[in-house]
Amino acid sequence: MRIVVGLDDEPASRTALDWVVAQPFAADAALTLVTSFDLLVSDVEQDAARLESEAARVRGSLPGGSVATALADGSIPEVLRRWAEDADLLVIGSRATTLRREALTGSLAERLAAVASVPVVVVPERFDAHPGDVVAGVAEDDSSDDAVEFAARLAEAQGLPLRLVHVWDRTPPATDPVSLYLSVPESQREAHEAHLRAVVDRVAAAHPGLELVGQLQEGRPPSAFQAPGRGIALLVIGTHRRGPIAAWVLGSVARALLADGGEAVCVVPPGSLG
């Protein structure tokens, strides 16, 4: 696997790099650590020294892997997007409280996840690694198909359970319990159940050895992806890329999950698996 990791001088990017190093697939991966700079405001020598220091640290942890570095002139989103074009995965840190030029903030994470041609993992600065499932969101259309397949491959490779979550919401809301019940006929829930079951069956057929469970959840993300007694190792979601404007904008679910900042989130654009 070819992985590009975005680095700057913020703790969030170091957390993202630590996340990569902790993944089983990193043991024999080809990593490229990328830092962008601006000749007008950056201390290029300091950036290069930090980059090499982090590379040396990773090489000590992953003796069987390949670790390269790249220092490129340009904006963070454009540099990382360009370097990730030939990769299988882009990993960045997210700190939503700072808007310094060097920081990979929440807004920049959204931009990268929206324009990258490969899956993008966004690791929040306060991320705390813990055992759990790989969780994939199942959309009502085909926009999550690649995300579900990516999550299945990842869970299978790492020996983790895969939990497929399909979230639906009662609309329109009503204050009267009777009218609320009547506004959501049983057939609507059955349709969502059938859709989720079809996706679970498809994944089970393609990955017969995978521990797999479907979860139909009423509510709204991000809390709807939680399950009692089960943690989340990585949350994988798809996004729409339809039209020249939509290609630069994440969906509301993706934005809400990235803004929540509690879990590592992987955004998988359609067509990114080849």
Instruction: Give the other-Cβ count within 10 Å of 53's Cβ.
Output: 10
**3-state SS assignment for residue 145:** helix
Cα(112)–Cα(249) distance, integer angstroms: 10
**3-state SS assignment for residue 151:** helix
**3-state SS assignment for residue 138:** coil
Phi-psi region of 237 (alpha: psi -120 to 50; beta: other; left: phi over 0): beta
- The topology (CATH level 3) of 133-268 is Rossmann fold (3.40.50)
pLDDT, residue 260, reads 61
CATH 3.40.50.620 placement within the chain: 2-124, 133-268
pLDDT tens figures, 157-187: 889 999 999 988 765 445 555 555 555 556 7
Cα(209)–Cα(189) distance, integer angstroms: 29
Please check the confidence at residue 251 and state whether its pLDDT lies above 60. Answer: no
Please check the confidence at residue 131 and state whether its pLDDT lies above 90. Answer: no
Q: Which of 83-92, 100-109, 121-130, 220-229 has the highest mean pLDDT?
A: 83-92
Quote the Cα angle for 20-239-75, to 5°: 60
Determine the average pLDDT of the residues in 41-46: 77
Q: DSSP labels for 8-72?
A: -SSHHHHHHHHHHHHSGGGGG-EEEEEEEE-TTT--HHHHHHHHHHHHHHHHHH-TTSEEEEEEE
pLDDT, residue 20, reads 93
In this structure, what token pair is assigned to residue 19? 């996340």
Determine the average pLDDT of the residues in 126-145: 86
Q: DSSP labels for 160-199?
A: --EEEEEEE--SS--SSHHHHHHHS-HHHHHHHHHHHHHH
Q: Which of 34-48, 164-178, 207-221, 258-272 has the highest mean pLDDT?
A: 207-221
Q: What CATH number has the domain spanning 2-124?
A: 3.40.50.620
Cα(151)–Cα(267) distance, integer angstroms: 11
Q: Are 93 and 10 in contact (CB under 8 A)?
A: yes
- Lowest mean pLDDT: which of 158-172, 232-246, 247-261? 247-261
Confidence grade of residue 76 (pLDDT, cut at 50, 70, 90): confident
- Lowest mean pLDDT: which of 29-33, 84-88, 165-169? 165-169
Considering only residues 229 and 199, tell me which one the structure prediction assigns the higher pLDDT.
199
Mean pLDDT of the chain: 81
Determine the average pLDDT of the residues in 152-161: 93
